Amino acid sequence: MLDGVERTVGALVQTNFSGTLRIAGVPLAAEELLARPPAVPVGNSCMIVVATDAPVDGRQLGRVANRAVFAMRGVGADYAQGSGDYAIAFSVHDLVEAGPLPDDALSPLFAATMDAVEEALINSVLAAETTVGPEGRTAHAVPLDLVRERLAAAGVV
């Protein structure tokens, strides 16, 4: 709820990051999930798009985009050398009707942005399918049954 009105925040991500995936605070290491060592991070990058209907201006949207990148840490991104993660944010609200929210009212928008991005990142990783690249390298899907087992053992599902 912002400015007394229910607002919406959505996120779309292209996920490519190194680190140890965390869901609900439970670490899920790639070497354990895939029974092999994780790939050496060379220069992975995530692209994040955040959309909202909140009345915010361009400067405030830049701050929202920053929070989107910060959210990657919540799911285990290590921001390795060579990482080129970035985010853009936009609002569909018409600021001609009324000006932007005051800066001191933005904290709920920042929190909602981080929640939406974390959820989009997790959904992206868990929905990925095993693929074989043009050079014959295989990117393995995360085994969902093992994720469920780990989360159940940790008492979060």
80 found inside a domain: yes
Query: Is residue 4 assigned to a domain?
Result: no
Domain that includes residue 105, residue range: 9-153
Residue whose C-alpha is closest to residue 74's, from 128, 31, 11, 139: 11
What integer pLDDT is reported at residue 15 of this predicted model? 87
Please indicate, yes or no, if residue 2 is contained in any of the structural domains: no
CATH code of residue 87: 3.60.70.12
Tell me what the mean pLDDT of segment 136-152 comes to. 87
Kindly report the pTM of this predicted structure: 0.86
- Which pLDDT tens digit goes with each residue over 12-66? 999 887 788 889 989 887 666 666 555 555 667 889 999 999 999 999 999 999 9
Assess if residue 73 is contained within a domain.
yes
pLDDT recorded at residue 133: 86
Number of domains in the chain: 1
Residue 48 in any domain: the answer is yes
- Whether residue 1 is contained in a domain is answered as no
